[in-house]
Chain A
């Protein structure tokens, strides 16, 4: 017995999909239509993708990583021939074809509307990292901060507390400065995007002190502005390198951040 695993919705009633294995090796992708939209799906064995099995598997990091990558690769494969598309959440599973049709039917207007909005657009991720020490040094050297004036001087015990106080102040100023830079950089990129959304700041990514993730966002970029978008990332890396910033773009992603209405 099999269930139906859903990957994404496209606005093509009869997509020419190359033969491609679904999340379970043994079943290939196919589509289920309603009017002029279709859901890309594949069958999955009921026992492997049952509620109890999946809830157990979700605690198995290795299983989850492997199937997450596979799921993403399948959606990206569909993206090569069908765009735009609306990506479904991981492990959206239905009992049978008529259940999938019901979903397409009941939310047809919403799906068709979003698909037409996403035409000729793709989602790109941008992460901004900063080397905080470089930024602090640069910021303090550019300003007339009191901290700088006392930093290198021999401090008597009496003035030790004063120095500590200035240190704290400098630290606060650095944080404010960082957040204002972050905003500036975001606006530079957003100029070329139809929309933007924030992603989680992944703490575990801050593995080294010189590479702190301070901005993790997605931008919806229209084809005609794609070059400007990439040039802006390049320019940010050139212009802000001396302050310790680095921008990294990823994509095109399926429009995970811009598909929900």
Chain B
């Protein structure tokens, strides 16, 4: 029985809304020394869903073209393979790729609030570093691929798109 109990923990099977409801609404409540105002969980989950939906929309629009582009992702090109891996790692990092991507999008959509800028953790810094690196690597790959296939402009345009996509994040961190 003990083993069965340990198979999966809640965060692996639950949605963010489940977690928020429980930790904000339930559990032991003792007046702490820091007073925090109440949050409307219903509203919150709607906001979260909108955010995630907008990220998915961006994905549909091809903002993550380097993950799926067959032209670039071929077995022969080790450089691209490792890049693909890096993107996946980036998505997985922190345990919730969607949130992380959502975070990127939000940072672009809105003016960065002072709050989240100040609470940039070690993970954030590592994330930004790897995004920076990713862009450099993309540049190399795109230039190379572009001259090979003769469709340099097409790829360069996409690269510009991604670069502007990440530029604001990088700005915010510096």
Residues of A within 8 A of B29 (CB): 89, 92, 260
Residue A180 at the chain B interface, CB threshold 8 Å: no
CB neighbours (8 Å) of A68 from chain B are 16, 19-20, 23-24
Contact with B along A99-130 (1 / 0, CB 8 A): 10001000100000000000000100100000
Instruction: Assess the B16–A69 pair: CB atoms within 8 A.
Output: yes
* B69 CB–A CB distance under 8 Å: no
Do B33 and A62 touch across chains, with their CB atoms under 8 A apart? no
A259 to B, closest residue via Cβ = B28
Interface size on B, residues (CB 8 A): 59
- Expressed in whole angstroms, the Cα–Cα distance for A191 and B23 within the complex equals 27
Which chain B residues border A250 with CB–CB below 8 Å? 10, 13-14, 18
Chain B residues positioned under 8 Å from A87 (CB to CB): 22-23, 26-28
Q: Which of A47-55, A158-166, A168-176 contacts B (4 or more CB under 8 A)?
A: A47-55
Given contacts A71-B23, A72-B23, contact A226 B33 (CB under 8 A): no
Contact A89 B14 (CB under 8 A): no
- Return the CB mask of B105-135 against A: 1 if under 8 Å, else 0: 0110000011110110111000000000000
Contact, CB under 8 Å: A65 / B99: yes
- How far is A72 from B28 in the complex, measured between Cα atoms in Å? 14
Q: Is the CB of A256 within 8 A of B32?
A: no
Q: Which residues of A contact B99 (CB under 8 A)?
A: 62, 65-66, 69
Known contacts A125-B18, A259-B28; decide if A252 and B34 are in contact (CB<8 Å). Answer: no
C-alpha spacing A202/B106, complex, angstroms: 23
Pick from A66, A207, A259: contact of B103, CB under 8 Å: A66
Minimum CB–CB distance from B88 to chain A (whole Å) comes to: 19
Chain A residue at minimum C-beta to C-beta distance from B95: A69
Determine if A88 and B4 form an interchain contact, defined as CB atoms under 8 angstroms apart: no
Please name all residues of chain A whose beta carbon is closer than 8 Å to the beta carbon of B123 when the two chains form the complex.
Answer: 25
**Is B170 interfacial (CB 8 A cutoff)?**
no
Whether B42 lies near A91 (C-beta < 8 A) is no
Whose C-beta in chain B lies nearest to the C-beta of A203? B42
Partner of B119, one of A57, A91, A99, A260: A57
Which A residues touch B42, using CB under 8 A?
200, 202-204
Which secondary structure dominates chain A's binding surface? mixed
Q: Is B48 touching A61 in the complex (CB atoms < 8 A)?
A: yes
Residues of chain A contacted by B115 (CB below 8 angstroms):
53, 56-57, 60, 63
- The answer to whether B27 touches A202 (Cβ under 8 A) is no
A259 touches B27 (CB 8 A): yes
In Å, the complex CA distance between A89 and B29 comes to 6
B30 to A93, Cβ gap below 8 A?
Answer: no
A202 touches B21 (CB 8 A): yes
Q: How far apart are the CA atoms of A95 and B122 in the complex, in Å?
A: 25
Determine the chain A residues whose CB is within 8 A of the CB of B96 once the complex forms.
65-66, 69
CB closest residue in chain B, given A207 = B49
Check A91 against B17 for contact (C-beta < 8 Å). Answer: no
Q: How far is A238 from B18 in the complex, measured between Cα atoms in Å?
A: 25
B residues 30-63 with Cβ under 8 Å of A? 30, 32-37, 39, 41-42, 44-49, 51
B149 at the interface (CB under 8 A from A): no
Q: Please, could you name 21 A-B residue pairs with CB atoms under 8 Å apart, sorted by A?
A: A24-B121, A62-B116, A65-B99, A68-B23, A72-B23, A87-B22, A88-B27, A89-B27, A89-B30, A91-B36, A93-B33, A99-B33, A107-B30, A200-B42, A203-B46, A204-B46, A230-B4, A251-B10, A254-B10, A254-B27, A260-B26
Instruction: Known pairs A65-B48, A99-B33; list 17 more (Cβ under 8 Å).
Output: A24-B121, A66-B99, A68-B20, A69-B16, A72-B23, A76-B9, A87-B22, A87-B28, A89-B26, A91-B34, A92-B29, A107-B30, A202-B21, A251-B13, A256-B26, A259-B28, A260-B28
